[in-house]
Amino acid sequence: MLNEEMLEKRLNCVTGSDAAVICGLSPYKSKVKLWLEKTRRAEQEDISNAGYIKFGNFMEDGVAKWFEAESGKELHEKTSEMLIHHEHEWMAGNIDFRIKGENAILECKTAAYTEGWGDGENIIPNHYLMQVAHYCAVGGFDKAYIAVVFTMSREMRWYEYNRNKELEDKLIKLEKDFWFNNVKDDIAPEPETENDILDLYKKTVSDPVVGEEEIIEAAYELKNIKAQKRELEVKEQEKRDKITTFMKDYDTLVDASGQVVITWKMARPTERFDTKTFSIENPSVYKQYIKVGEPTRRMLIKGE
């Protein structure tokens, strides 16, 4: 688990979790978001209290012990040491464990489902592949093992990554470009998503912009897609109405063979804070805790 000091150090270098982002392979973060964090324009999102993060942190030792039992390998004690590349001091990483008797490391993961992971094949999701490739480059390791526990199937699988010089060279080139041409030169990467634009441009320009044919075509396609979506939503509700009026107070629908097709069970009641009543009865206290959010941009397609 990384403390505040370690998190601050990670802003001053490229780490293993940054590798997939820089390669455009991260499902969690964009290069623009990473650049905003590295240049201190945006705070790193604090996800330390998120359930899946806590679960992964607390399970790490258990995953490691399970790996030892299954593989027959022994691990060195875990340390919080940050490794620095011998040549590129801006490349760093915090590994999970070193393997005894091998120039190798172990990276521990947890996942709900097996999607994206090989079953009997040495297939690793790309964002994790970039992470261990980065660690091997930084520490000069010959191999990385990735042990992952799948919580839904209650199984552990482990995979191997053998150091790949060609991949490593490409990775270092991309990371170096990002670090020096974006972070150090203080130039934002090219935005690729709507969220990138919202992160980079906090104000709008009132003047219109003339779109090229490709952009105008995309706008009309978006209009058609939104119309189709509304039609599907109507059809969806019609099917729900047909099914639920048949089920009435029954909470499970099965087919002729007894196979469960749909469940429609009562959820636990939720507790909600009564903001309206509180603001009326305690107006002065309520005002102390009002936060004004950032302005948002709303896209309207004309003619809808």
Q: What is the CATH number of the domain that holds 53?
A: 3.90.320.10
Neighbouring CB atoms inside 10 A of 64's CB total 18
Taking the C-alpha atoms of residue 13 and residue 19, their distance in angstroms, rounded to an integer, is 11
Boundary residue ending a domain (200, 226, 248): 200
61/101 same-domain check: yes
Cβ-count burial of 120 within 10 angstroms (0-12 exposed, 13-18 middle, 19+ buried)? Answer: exposed
Write down which residue in 154, 174, 200 finishes a domain.
200
pTM exceeding the 0.85 threshold for the entire prediction: no
Residues 178 and 241 in one domain: no
Q: How far apart are CA 257 and CA 50, in angstroms?
A: 41
Boundary-marking domain end, from 184, 200, 216: 200
The pair of structure tokens assigned to 207 is: 């003047």
Question: What pLDDT, on the 0 to 100 scale, is given for residue 48?
Answer: 64
Residues 107 and 196 in one domain: yes
Got the DSSP string for 223-277?
A: HHHHHHHHHHHHHHHHHHHHHHHHHTT--EEE-TT--EEEE-PPPPPPP---HHH
Indicate if 183 and 213 belong to the same structural domain: no
45: left (phi over 0), alpha (psi -120 to 50) or beta: beta
- pLDDT value for 10: 87
- 66 and 122 in a single domain? The answer is yes
Number of structural domains, the chain?
A: 2
Question: Are residues 234 and 110 both part of a single domain?
Answer: no
302 domain residue, yes or no: no
Query: If we measure between CA atoms, which residue out of 65, 10, 63 comes closest to residue 40?
Result: 10
**Same domain, yes or no, for 242 and 111?**
no
Q: How far apart are CA 215 and CA 152, in angstroms?
A: 43
220 in the same domain as 100: no
Its domain, for residue 102, covers 4-200
262/140 same-domain check: no
pLDDT in tens, the chain (304 residues): 556 677 788 899 999 999 999 999 999 999 999 999 999 999 887 666 777 778 778 889 999 999 999 999 999 998 888 999 999 999 999 999 999 999 999 999 999 999 999 999 999 999 999 999 999 999 999 999 999 999 999 999 999 999 999 999 999 999 999 999 999 999 999 999 999 999 999 899 999 999 999 999 999 999 999 999 999 999 999 999 999 999 999 999 999 999 999 999 999 999 999 999 999 999 999 999 998 888 888 999 987 7
Q: With respect to residue 274, please indicate whether it lies within any of the assigned structural domains.
A: no
Q: Which of 17, 1, 26 is nearest to 131 (CA)?
A: 17
CA 73, distance to chain mean position in Å, is: 30
Q: Say if residue 123 is in the same domain as residue 254.
A: no
Does residue 187 belong to any structural domain of this protein?
yes
Are 133 and 184 part of one and the same domain?
yes
DSSP state of 157: E
Q: Is there a domain that residue 114 lies in?
A: yes
Q: Is residue 224 part of a domain?
A: yes
For 107, the enclosing helix (H) or strand (E) is strand 104-111
Q: Is residue 128 part of a domain?
A: yes
Which pLDDT score is estimated for 106? 97
